[in-house]
Amino acid sequence: MPDTALRKDIWRLDAREHDDAFEQYRKGCAHLFDITLQSPEESFFNTLEAHHLGPVVLAKCSGVPQLFERKLSHILIDGGDTVMVVVELEDSGWRGDYDGRAAGGHLGQIRMIDMARPFSMSTGGYRSLYVMVPRTLLEGRGSLDFHGLVLSDDSVSGRLLGAHVRSLAEVLDHMTPDEAEAGAKAMVALIVGAITAHATPASGDHRPVEKMLLASGRQFIEQNLDDVDLSPEAVRRRLGVSRSLLYKVFEPLGGVSAFIQGRRLDQAFDAILHDRAEQHTLGEIAYGHGFRSDAHFSRAFRGRFGVTPGRLRRVGEAARQEGLSALERPDDVFTWLRGL
């Protein structure tokens, strides 16, 4: 006789029963989020019942106040390409930042999360329904910007979707696989309709993870160029990735070390030009931009710009009048200087 029961995963953890309940929970979610408790660990509990409706998963979940942070490193480790829809069954007072979109909600509202993008979300004690849908089922709507979108329970699409998800959750234990497949298809259709009605066109194509990492890495470097400890290892730790992936990401820019040195040289170039009164020696400028050797600074500077720091300083006023800068300069600065 064929098995007509749906596949069901159950995960219950309670600190009253297991001293290491939270640690088990944290490790179990480590590929998805970093989790920080916002209540005493001795009061921790979490319950999850997940039913598999073909490729779609519908889960009932409840837990204590906590902070969820999904970073680029989690996206890389996870490797999936899914969309999560959350229906709040209790007023948890959740608040989050979804890759730049601030959002918050209450009982009855529905939020949509693109699991291919980072987010940070804090919540009080919660009881929710989670739907996980592969992006391939979204009929092309997966390219729209719905990350952090909150559907009001007053909207038609929000009311229809919420009612269907709650109804499915009530009968999951009694459904056959065929009934579950039909219910999942209807649920996906309502999700597609809600995204179509409320999502906005993305400002650009969703970037591959490597491009997102490169953008984040470059931003971190630009913000820390004056930090003497800035290094490829510091960038790797910030992004939370392996060395091999970091080198792959920065390969188009000549590597991490080359990019850091190049940007420091660019800033040193402008610092020399802007130091009209020569208040700083070239050695001080070199040191202030991460170079510990005057000779190394001079060689690297000449290698990038075709001219020594001293030569640039001597013709500084003429260069300033021409509007020269590290960004606005000819490919061969030395040839340009000879034409002065």
For the chain, domains (ranges, CATH) are: 8-198 (2.60.120.10), 209-338 (1.10.10.60)
45: closest CA among 130, 121, 127, 113? 127
pTM of the model: 0.64
Could you tell me which residue, 322 or 94, shows the higher pLDDT?
A: 94
State the Rg of the chain over Cα. 27
Give me the phi and psi of 276, to 5 degrees please.
Answer: -60, -40
- Burial letters 120-132, b for 16+ CB under 10 A, else e: bbbbebbebbbbb
Position 47 scores a pLDDT of: 97
C-alpha to C-alpha distance for 176 and 224, rounded to whole angstroms: 57
C-alpha to C-alpha distance for 249 and 268, rounded to whole angstroms: 25
The pLDDT confidence band at residue 181, using thresholds 50, 70 and 90, is very high
* Ramachandran category for residue 13: left, alpha or beta (phi over 0 → left; psi -120 to 50 → alpha): beta
Position 326 scores a pLDDT of: 46
C-alpha to C-alpha distance for 79 and 240, rounded to whole angstroms: 15
Note the pLDDT tens digit of each residue in 248-272: 888 888 899 999 999 999 888 888 8
Q: Is the pLDDT of residue 339 over 80?
A: no
User: Chain-wide mean pLDDT for the chain?
Assistant: 86
Tokens of 185: 């298809």
Note the pLDDT tens digit of each residue in 117-172: 899 999 999 999 999 999 889 988 877 899 999 998 889 999 999 999 999 999 99
Q: Is the pLDDT of residue 334 over 70?
A: no
Q: What is the mean pLDDT of residues 89-94?
A: 91
Could you tell me which residue, 240 or 111, shows the higher pLDDT?
A: 111
User: Could you identify the residue written with the tokens 């009001």?
Assistant: 152
Q: What is the mean pLDDT of residues 55-73?
A: 93
Position 189 scores a pLDDT of: 96
Q: What is the mean pLDDT of residues 266-284?
A: 85
E strands within the chain? 8-14, 34-37, 45-53, 56-63, 66-70, 82-88, 95-98, 101-104, 110-114, 119-123, 126-134, 149-151
C-alpha to C-alpha distance for 44 and 13, rounded to whole angstroms: 8
Q: Is the pLDDT of residue 336 over 50?
A: no
268: closest CA among 277, 280, 257, 258? 280
Report the chain's terminal Cα–Cα distance, integer Å.
92
Q: What is the mean pLDDT of residues 110-118?
A: 92
Position 319 scores a pLDDT of: 57
DSSP 252-317: GGT-HHHHHHHHHHHHHHHHHHH-TT--S-HHHHHHHTT-S-HHHHHHHHHHHHSS-HHHHHHTHH
Position 1 scores a pLDDT of: 38
Q: Is the pLDDT of residue 2 over 50?
A: no
The pLDDT confidence band at residue 79, using thresholds 50, 70 and 90, is low
Contact 276, 253 (CB under 8 A): no
Query: Percentage of the chain surpassing pLDDT 90?
Result: 48
Contact 81, 113 (CB under 8 A): no
